[in-house]
């Protein structure tokens, strides 16, 4: 170990959830639009099914 040039301290980053990573990439408006798109696709699929 070199006392004049010590190694930089280890940087521990806190654990991030999947949701935290998604929120870094998408705005709330983007998320709402994607959710509405997915819900509409489900509605269309359900309309195609016949109750039986």
For residue 20, CA distances in Å to 9, 12, 23, 27, 40 come to 25, 17, 5, 12, 25
Mean pLDDT of 9-15: 88
CA–CA separation, 48 and 43 (whole Å): 9
pLDDT at 50 over 80: no
Confidence (pLDDT) at 51? 61
pLDDT at 52 over 70: no
CA–CA separation, 7 and 15 (whole Å): 24
Confidence (pLDDT) at 24? 93
Domain ranges of the chain: 18-46
pTM equals: 0.54
Predicted confidence (pLDDT) per residue in 15-43, tens digit: 999 999 989 999 999 999 999 999 999 99
Cα 18 to the chain's mean position, in Å?
5
């Amino acid at each position: 170990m070199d006392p004049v040039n010590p190694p930089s301290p280890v940087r521990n980053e806190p654990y991030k959830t999947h949701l935290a990573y998604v929120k870094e990439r998408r705005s709330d408006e983007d998320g709402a639009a994607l959710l509405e798109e997915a819900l509409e696709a489900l509605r269309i699929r359900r309309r195609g099914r016949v109750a039986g």
